[in-house]
Amino acid sequence: MLSIRNLAKTYAGGVRALRGVSLDIPPGMFGLIGPNGAGKSTLMKILATLLDPDTGTATLDGLDLIANKDATRRLLGYLPQEFGVYPKMSAVDMLNHLAVMKGITKGGERKEVVEGLLQQTNLWDVRKKALGGYSGGMKQRFGIAQALLANPKLIIVDEPTAGLDPAERNRFLNLLSSIGRNVVVILSTHIVADVRELCSRMAIISSGELILEGVPAQAIEAVKGRVWSKVVPTDSEREEIEKALPMISMHRVGGLNEVRVYSETSLGEGFLPVEADLEDVYFRQLSQHRPN
Amino acid sequence: MFKDFFLFELKLRFKSVSTYIFFLLAALIPFFSIAARDFGPIGSGKVFLNSPFAVLLITTQVVAFGSILIAAIFGPAILRDFHGDTYQLIFTKPISKFGYLVGRWAGSMVTAIFVFSGIVFGIALGTLMPWADKLRIAPNDFGMYLRIYASIGIVQIFFLGSLFFCVAALTRNIVVVYLQGVALFAFYLIELVVVVVSNKLERAWASIIDPFGLIMVQSLTRYWTVVERNVVVPHWTGVFLYNRLVWLAAGALALLAAYALFPMSAEVLGSRRSTKKAEEAKADKDSVEHEPRRVRANLPQVAQIFGGATTWKQLLSMTRMRFFNIVREIPFWAITLIMLVFVLISGHFAGNNNGVEVWPVTFLMVSVVSGQSGLFLYIIGVLYAGEVIWRERDVRFEQIHDSLPLPDWTDFVSKFLALAMVETVLASVVLVCGVLSQAISGFFRFEMGHYAKEIYLVYLPQLLMVILLALFLQTVLGNKFLAHALVVGFFISIPTLYAWGIENRLYLYGEITPYTYSDMNGYGHFVKALFWVTAYWICVGGLLGVLAIAFARRGTEQSFGARWKQAGPRMRRLIAAAAAFLLLAGTCGAVFFYNTHVANQFRTAQQNRHRTADYEKLYKKYERLPQPKVTDVDVAVDIFPERRSFAGTGHYMLVNHTDKPINEVHITDSREAVQEVKFNRESKQTLADKDHFYSIYKLDKPLEPNETMKMDFRVGYASRGFKDGNERAEFAYNGTFFDRDYFPTIGYSQNVEIDDPVRRREEQLPPLEEMAPPGDPYYSNINLFTTDSEWVTFHAVVSTSPDQIAIAPGYLKREWTENGRRYFDYSMGDTRINDFFSFLSGRFSVKTDQWKNVKLEIYYQPGHEFNLDKMMDASKTGLDYYEKNFSKYQFDQFRVLEFPRYRQFAQSFPNTVPYSEDIGFIERMKKPDDIDLLYFVTAHELAHQWWGHQLIGSQTQGSNMMSESLAEYSALTVMSKKYGEDMLRKDLRYELDRYLRGRAGETRHEPPLVLVQREPYVWYQKGALVMFALADYIGEDKVNLALRKFLEKNRYATGPFPDTRGFVAALRAETPLELQYVITDMFESIVLYENRAVSATYVETPDKKYKVTLNASSQKKKSDGSGNETPMTIHDLIDVGVFSGTKEHLKRLNLHKEWITQETGTFEFVVDEKPTFAGIDPYNKLIDRDPADNLIEVEKP
């Protein structure tokens, strides 16, 4: 269990990235969603020992992650949102090197785990090629491989599926969930579907604050039957609805606007009830907490 | 369109702060060259600090070394668009190629011209500084500054800028641009080694193809006199013109190439990128095509092990990765390759010591290969210190890297170790290059131990210190380039601080004490100082490393404040390491300080000059005080080589040869070796000024005229610990050599005075006193060499360690061992000698031989057997020739003794010649016409047994030529007997070069030969040239006859001593009337010829002969001491001739003298062979500023 209590961080420029976030994250996949600049990356960097919070604590099964950076790093698997590679190193050399860094000093074990990861991430055939020649997707897969080295107890993956094609994304998510049963996996993403499919628990943060925390299915349950959809042809009509009703989201469908609104009662006037999904929960929460 | 690009470029540049920083950088060196003492390229003397010559040198150097700024201005003009991929935006628009390329180029050109105009600004500003040396600053002449800036600066900017621009446009890679700069620089360095360091006289081609103009300017101005340096602005003629044209053309070609080859299409320009894209796609496909063969549900469980062993493995793995990251880079290989080429070429010339071929022994080779590779290894160290510190951030791997479970120190230490490994590998490659170069030169005595010591224990630690500093700066500062700039600043600051008198190596980061390896003494007494100073700086570097670990970036917070906060807790963990380094540095520093400041007094060069100046100020008033003269010397000297010390007792017999009673005896002790002085009558010491080398003893009873008295003394010198440089070269574990300076000198000694005019002004001393003219009533009675003595008897008992031989002048009377020491008793018997003696001790091997009844001995270092036979031959041939032509040799022995190369000369003491191991013992004649310096020097020193030990002039102007010029003439004659006239001519050509360069560097005024005072280039080089010219005119036999007669009349003179008036008269007596002008011109004046072969043609005659017509011109000028020339009418007998063969090996077909009475003349010859060359004064017997144009190829009309 990872317990986060009152984490706050204000950057030197005065940006308040986290405003006292508290969370309990049990083993399993935990989805963290929020818009850009919500503080997701700051939270993850703090958990990944790259940043010191101003206040607050984070403990993993009793281990103070902030005070014991070295111990934290030993059980950490981290895939940052943006990262590069040493262009002249090959994947296998680099993974071997990183395995040593993570304390896998027994040669046989190391070979096994490195080869296993290369195969799992489908980099086996290019393992001897220089990382500089890798495409974005391959680089991402390499990033995943390195994050999974040494059976980490705490896995932090920041936007892991960005840049992956759908097949790769599936493979990765399967891999992650197969590993993530007994360890804490924090998956930060803006793809709400990823969370719905994989995560047993989730949290939404916005403007440095936690606005929802819970089980995805329960969250959906809470809005069930209260999401209404209407297709309107013009922008002015859409704007009218936006003014009048608590709008959740708007999609363009075949050149028309599909507007979703939240209402506990039926709205009539062409509004049809729709099956609520996690995205509706997300947008509903965001619109409620939009700083006005 | 052009205008738009041009103005845009200008706006961008002039808005950028870097442009103004570059301007200040360009202004900095010129400013200090004028405003700061001892900074600029102009040494002492009368050349103005802002003279055309100085401005020329400064401008050329600043632009050459500022090439990196030119690259930094022209490179980005194009590359800017490719950095951020803006090229895709630009080249999809309809823009004109001309507008884009030429606009960008012209904008950069204007920017660069502005930047380097900082030179003119810096010079002008420097002249205004209140502390500048106003006496050496001429009024600002902006016209001249700008003319030089245009012909050097702007031409260089055009050429280099266009080249950089072209390379940037065609490769679109900044690294290639810089590499091309490095390659150009290497080309220049190679030229420098091949041409300048090995002292080639033929410089025209090297000057023309010199891309920076440095060699060109140096060659062009090397014979310029003071007046010319202060007045002449080089014109676009000759070599200067060709050089400028070649590089202007190169620049224009580069521009054309850029214009012609630059593709104006985003598609083509992006093609390199799309190749990369294609590769990626292929790799992608490769990786996807094969679905996982076996997918495991779970990854294997692994054990994470942390602790000491893992930390070690992590360090190794990290170091290995970093090492390979460096050695896989192209710039690394490019720099390494250039270094290899340069080192191997330099290695090839390691055996060339100023034009003299020597065996490339290990100490020469290792110093060449380490010295020449140094620049490149420092560049690699500093460059990659920046790369390695910023690597994770540059490749954006830092978030993963920083969250790895590594101790904080591992990362930094791995960076250091990786660089250390790279440098160790490179240093080893350099070592192999040295061995290889020796093998290529056919020298197979590889001393691997010596190589290893020099490369791994001396050279490598210095590199590591700089790397630690660079790593520290890169870590602490937030910017890679700022840190690089500071490291460069550090490199500039060290010599500057030395020049400003900060010489204490405890404060100069990474500076080690100077040392010299000698085959005789190994690293000897330098080892201790080197060890402690190296350990000290390595520990200080280690401390910097610890600080760097504390401040290292880890995590995403980069601000200095945040890093300062994290440094505290980290420092607590590093406290043990910091304390250890601090303690070690403190200990080493304390040991160093104790030795250099407590056991020995620490004085800077300036402090030493103050003492010397004070000596002169305080005691010069006693210069003419009547003092007794030494007539007998009897000493007992104990040398303790292993302690680098000696102790001596002895006595002088003193006589009063003045007509007044002497009340006081004054003693100068310039070596601070005199411990006690006693007279055989009552006396009292009335002055003991140890700080200024002076003491005075008052005699109770005056020494009456012609009365003698005995003076007992105790002398000694004890080395204690080690010094911060300035170790006395006289004392070595093997190879002690000290002389009379360690014994009391009676009276004031002029030899102590400072002679550099700038230094004298600094010390507020008046200009150095001119020597008295010949015939001066006072100085005619003082002998040139030892003011305080007459001809003396000499006896010495010398002792040394049992494994060494000790030598002093005199015949060995007895040798014995007593108390575990070896004793030698030397005596000159009743043969009186010049009061000039030396003591040597070493583990010598001895070679003996005999010439008539004279015993010949060479005491040499085992291993230096290369030339002993030749040395013997020179001695015998010399004795033979000198006895036959001059007079009888006055001794029964002649000994040559090798001493360590801490000093590089040979010196003639009575029947004893100490001879440095550097200047002949390792000589190697490669080609039969190489100049045999060893043979020459041996014969020269032997000749001094006549010219100096038989004939001594008075202490007046000119007298020194009767010693040095005559020794030079005698030795060259002997050498030509062995090697023929060709070698003589070749040697004289070098003498001419050295004479012309010597007078160019004159700091006071050049005297005519027979009035020479302290000008070695006059008494050696001009003396030799002039004596041979005279011998050529009147015949060797006539010259020798004059010398013999003059010697017979004057040898062993006791005062008045002879001077050059008598010498000139003796020469005139043997010279026919019509050639008397030769003596007037050459001996009594400074006369320069400008002989030139204008054209030469030949026609074949019907009887198979060749008729040659030579057109030549001749001018003759008289120069004053500063180089002001006035034309003379010519009426001279000059050689004209026709030759076959090559320029290097001319074969005479017809050579004769003609009376030249007009400035131009036509000469006709008929010769039997097909001619190749013809010329006037073709052998450069006359002094000619442009000796190369005397000879011309003979052509068919």
Count the neighbouring beta carbons within 10 Å of the beta carbon of residue B559: 12
With CB atoms and an 8 Å threshold, state whether A49 touches B403: yes
For an interface test with A, the pick among B299, B332, B396, B560 (most A C-beta atoms closer than 10 Å) comes out as B299
What pLDDT, in 10s, does the model give residues B121-135? 999 999 988 888 888
Nearest-angstrom CA–CA distance, B939 and B871: 9
Residues of B in contact with A101 (CB under 8 A): 314, 317-318, 404-406
Mean predicted lDDT score pLDDT of chain B: 91
Contact state of B404 with A123 under an 8 Å Cβ cutoff: no
Helix (H, G, I), strand (E, B) or coil at B304: coil
CB nearest A83 (choices: B287, B396, B554): B396
Rounded distance between C-alpha atoms, residue B891 and residue B908, angstroms? 13
* Contact by Cβ (8 Å): B899, B641: no
Q: Is B341's pLDDT higher than 90?
A: no
Give the pairing type, strands B674-679 and B629-640: unpaired
pLDDT value for B25: 84
Name the residue with tokens 């401040």.
Answer: B551
**Burial class of residue B647 in the structure, from the number of CB atoms within 10 Å of its CB (0-12 exposed, 13-18 middle, 19+ buried):** middle
Q: Regarding predicted confidence, which is higher, B806 or B725?
A: B806
CATH number belonging to domain B1086-1197? 2.60.40
Length in residues, chain A: 292
- Check A100 against B391: CB less than 8 A apart: no
Residue with tokens 């002997």: B974
On the question of pLDDT at B113 being above 60, the answer is: yes
Exposure b/e, B1060-1075, CB count within 10 A at least 16 = b: bebbbebbeebbeeee
Question: Rounded to whole angstroms, how far apart are CA atoms A232 and B720?
Answer: 101
* Chain B residues inside the 8 Å CB shell of A86: 321, 325, 391, 395, 397
For chain A, positions 4-43, list CB contacts with chain B under 8 A.
12
Q: What is the pLDDT of residue B1016?
A: 95
Quick check: B485 and B445 in contact, CB under 8 A? no
Domain boundaries, chain A: 2-220, 225-275
Contact A105 B305 (CB under 8 A): yes
- Provide the shortest C-alpha distance from residue B332 to chain A (in Å): 14
Q: Which tokens sit at A79?
A: 């895939």
- What is d(CA B124, CA A185) in angstroms, rounded to the nearest whole number? 69
CB-CB: which of B281, B309, B554 is closest to A105? B309
Spatial distance between the Cα atoms of B669 and B650, rounded to a whole number of angstroms: 15
- Inter-chain touch A74–B306, beta carbons under 8 Å: yes
Assigned token pair, B299: 């990854």
> What's B770-783+866-895+915-1084's CATH class?
mainly alpha
CA dihedral of residues B1110, B1115, B1121, B1123 (deg, nearest 10) = -90
Angle at B341 between CA B339 and CA B346, to 5 degrees: 90
Q: Is A68 on the interface with B (CB under 8 A)?
A: no
Report d(CA B837, CA B828) in Å as an integer: 11
- Decide if B904 touches A, using CB distance below 8 A: no
Contacts of A116 in chain B (CB under 8 A): 296, 299-300
Closest CA to A83 of B554, B412, B394, B558: B394
DSSP string computed for A161-197: TTT--HHHHHHHHHHHHHHTTSSEEEEEES-HHHHHH
- pLDDT over threshold 90, residue B1106: yes
Q: What is the arithmetic mean of pLDDT over B927-932?
A: 80
Is residue A228 less than 8 Å (CB to CB) from chain B?
no
What would be the CATH architecture of the domain defined by A2-220?
3-Layer(aba) Sandwich (3.40)
Please identify which residue in the block is written with the tokens 């574990």: B733
Query: Strands, E, within B314-366: which ranges?
Result: 352-353, 356-357
> A120 and B313 in contact by Cβ < 8 A?
no
Q: Which of B86-95, B201-210, B670-679, B1132-1141 has the lowest mean pLDDT?
A: B86-95
Q: Work out the minimum CA distance from A277 to partner chain B, whole angstroms.
A: 30
pLDDT (tens digit, 9 = 90+) per residue, B251-273? 999 999 999 988 877 667 765 55
State the maximum Cα–Cα separation within chain B, in Å, rounded to a whole number.
Answer: 118
pLDDT of the residue at B535: 97
Q: For residue B206, what is the enclosing H or E element? A: helix B204-208
Q: Nearest Cβ partner of A78 from B280, B305, B400?
A: B400
Local structure of B926: helix, strand or coil: coil
**Cβ of A105 and B310 within 8 Å?**
yes
Nearest to B899, CA basis, from B801, B804, B797 = B804
pLDDT classification of B83: cutoffs 50, 70, 90: low
Nearest to B723 by CA among B456, B495, B504: B504
Gap between the Cα atoms of A42 and A23, Å rounded? 15
Q: Would the CB atoms of B292 and A124 count as touching at under 8 Å? A: yes
Q: Does A97 touch chain B (CB under 8 A)?
A: yes
Residues from chain A contacting residue B556 (CB–CB below 8 Å): 45, 50-51
Considering only residues B475 and B498, tell me which one the structure prediction assigns the higher pLDDT.
B475
Rounded Cα gap, residues B493 and B154, in angstroms: 28
The 10 Å Cβ neighbour count of residue B1140 is 18
Q: Which residues pair with B916 in a beta bridge?
A: B899
Does A178 contact B at CB distance below 8 Å? yes
B568: contact with A, CB 8 A cutoff: no
Calpha distance B963→B950 (Å, rounded): 10
Mean pLDDT of B1027-1037: 95
- Residue A13: per-residue pLDDT: 81
Specify the DSSP class assigned to residue B714.
Answer: E
Domain parsing of chain B, residue ranges: 2-173+212-274, 308-599, 770-783+866-895+915-1084, 1086-1197
Measure CB to CB from residue A138 to each of B283, B407, B555 and give the nearest one: B283
**Of residues B927 and B390, which shows the higher confidence score?**
B390
Instruction: Mark yes or no for CB contact B286/A89 under 8 Å.
Output: no
**Residue B279 pLDDT grade (very low, low, confident, very high; cuts 50, 70, 90):** low
Concatenating the DSSP letter of every residue in B1117-1137 gives EEE-TT--EEEE---EEEEEE
For residue B305, the chain A residues in CB contact (below 8 A) are 103-106
Q: Which helix (H) or strand (E) holds B101?
A: helix B97-116
Position B1109 scores a pLDDT of: 96
Mean pLDDT within B351-367 = 85
The rounded distance, in Å, linking the Cα atoms of B765 and B757 is 9
Q: How confident is the model at residue B1148, as a pLDDT?
A: 92
Tell me the pairing of strands B1160-1167 and B805-807: unpaired
The residue whose two tokens read 């818009």 is A35
Partner-chain residue, chosen from A88, A120, A146, that has the shortest CB–CB distance to B400 = A146
| Inter-chain CB pairs, A–B, below 8 Å | 170
Give the containing element (helix H, strand E) for B464: helix B460-476
Banded model confidence at residue A292, pLDDT cuts 50, 70, 90: very low
Q: How far apart are CA B657 and CA B627, in angstroms?
A: 8
Is B830 at the interface with chain A, CB within 8 A?
no
**Closest in B283, B293, B302 to A104, CB measured:** B302
Dump pLDDT digits (tens) for A160-187.
Answer: 877 778 887 887 888 888 877 788 999 9
- At residue B294, the pLDDT reads 46
Which of B286, B291, B302 would you mutate first to test chain A, the one with the most A CBs within 10 A? B302
Contact of A272 with A289, CB cutoff 8 Å: no
Percent of chain B with pLDDT strictly greater than 90: 68
Residue B234 is classified by DSSP as P
Residue A101 contacts residue B306 (beta carbons within 8 Å): no
CB contact (8 A) between residue A116 and residue B296:
yes
**Which of A189-203, B158-172, B711-725 shows the highest mean pLDDT?**
B711-725
Q: Do A84 and B395 touch (CB under 8 A)?
A: yes
Contact call for A122 and B291, based on CB within 8 A? yes
Q: What is the ipTM of this complex?
A: 0.93
Chain-chain contact of A124 with B293 (C-beta, under 8 angstroms):
yes
Within 10 Å of residue B851's Cβ, how many Cβ atoms? 17
In B270-289, the residues whose Cβ lies within 8 Å of chain A are 276, 279-281, 283-284, 286-289
Q: Are B1132 and B1156 in contact (CB under 8 A)?
A: yes
B chain contacts of residue A126, beta-carbon cutoff 8 Å: 283, 286-287
Task: Report the pLDDT value the prediction gives residue B82, as an integer from 0 to 100.
Answer: 77
- Contacts with B303 (C-beta within 8 Å, 6 or more apart), sequence order: A104, A106, A109
A84 — contact with chain B (CB < 8 Å)?
yes
- Say if the Cβ atoms of B299 and A120 lie within 8 Å: yes
Mutate to test the interface with A, among B286, B400, B408 (most CBs of A within 10 A): B400
* Least Cα separation, residue A86 to chain B (angstroms): 6
Q: Say whether pLDDT at B771 is over 50.
A: yes
DSSP output for B951-984: ---BSBTTGGGGTHHHHHHHHHHHHHHHH-HHHH
Distance from C-alpha of A185 to C-alpha of A199, rounded to nearest angstrom? 9
pLDDT for B497: 86
A254: closest CA of chain B, how far (Å): 33
Whether the bond into B1056 is cis, omega within 30 of 0: yes
Which chain B residues have a beta carbon less than 8 Å from that of A106? 302-303, 305
CB neighbour class for B1159 (10 Å; exposed up to 12, middle 13-18, buried from 19): middle
What pLDDT is stored for residue B293 in this prediction?
A: 46
* A74 shares contact with chain B (CB less than 8 Å): yes
- CB contact at 8 A, A158 and A80: yes
Cα(A58)–Cα(A65) distance, rounded to whole angstroms? 6
Range from A209-213, B107-111, B538-542 carrying the lowest mean pLDDT: A209-213
Task: Name the residue among A76, A101, A116 with its Cβ closest to that of B314.
Answer: A101
The residue of chain A nearest to residue B328, with distances taken between CA atoms, is A88
Q: How far is A124 from chain B (nearest CA, A)?
A: 7
Cβ <8 Å between B556 and A87: no
Mean pLDDT of B354-366: 86
